[in-house]
Amino acid sequence: MANKIKFLGHAAFSIVTSNGKTIYIDPFLSQNPTAAITLDQVDACDIMLITHDHADHLGDAPDIIKKCGGTAVGMPETVAKLKEAGVADDNIINFGYGMNTGGTSEVDGVFITMTQAFHSGTSNPNGYVVKLEDGKTIYHAGDTGIFSSMEILGDIYGIDLAMLPIGSVFTMDPLQAAVAAKMLKCKKVIPMHYKTFPFLVPDPSSFVQLAQEKAPGVEVVPLNPGEECEL
């Protein structure tokens, strides 16, 4: 069985691993005009990854965890907001403390490494490198501008699939994201964080073209909200 990665709109994804675990990343659903699913349609969650505490990333995470259980992962200041919303320490990684940049934690055979990101928020923003049970490795960059140590991440982790923001204004624009894909040396890339709001890049076409020029060895997988790919 392959890992299935579904784009839910904006920077939100769900992953069903080859072993049947359900992972959510930045589940901005209820207030997301591009969301592919509603909160009511979420019926399972084993791991919840939150890149930072902005409303369009923290999103519906507290309600999903309280509804479905699972283990939430985030910076200490981010998981503090989960606690304020009624999420128990037992549902937060490392006994409720969260984790921080550079750290790696394991949840039922899934290894989660928190990476840096360059953005803003009450807590430091971050991304995640996630090694699934079958060894496939996914990188969700979170909200970030390009940074040179993306090349180091690629060297260390052998990234099979990267999710990169392309929308500009608050994150990388298509050109920076295309160069980031080259630096990461990932096998596949899914563009994200575009179209949701009127001042963001409206579609991935410019990124697709630039990635073909800057990172010709990387397969670009543009997904509409609700579509999925296998890994």
* In-domain check, residue 100: yes
pLDDT tens per residue across span 94-122 = 999 999 999 999 999 999 999 999 998 77
Of residues 19, 28, 20, 54, the one with CA closest to residue 7: 28
* In-domain check, residue 229: no
* In-domain check, residue 30: yes
* In-domain check, residue 231: no
Domain span at 23: 4-223
Digits of tens for pLDDT over the chain (231 positions)? Answer: 899 999 999 999 999 999 999 999 999 999 999 999 999 999 999 999 999 999 999 999 999 999 999 999 999 999 999 999 999 999 999 999 999 999 999 999 999 999 999 998 777 899 999 999 999 999 999 999 999 999 999 999 999 999 999 999 999 999 999 999 999 999 999 999 999 999 999 999 999 999 999 999 999 999 999 999 999
Q: Which two tokens stand for residue 99?
A: 């984790």
In degrees to the nearest 10, what's the CA dihedral of 77, 80, 81, 85?
A: 180
Distance CA 104, CA 112 (A): 5
Neighbours of 100 (CB within 10 A): 15
* In-domain check, residue 143: yes
* In-domain check, residue 228: no
Work out whether the CA dihedral 164, 14, 47, 109 comes out positive or negative: negative
Q: Are 1 and 9 in contact (CB under 8 A)?
A: no
Distance CA 204, CA 223 (A): 9
Question: Structurally, how many domains does the chain consist of?
Answer: 1
* In-domain check, residue 230: no
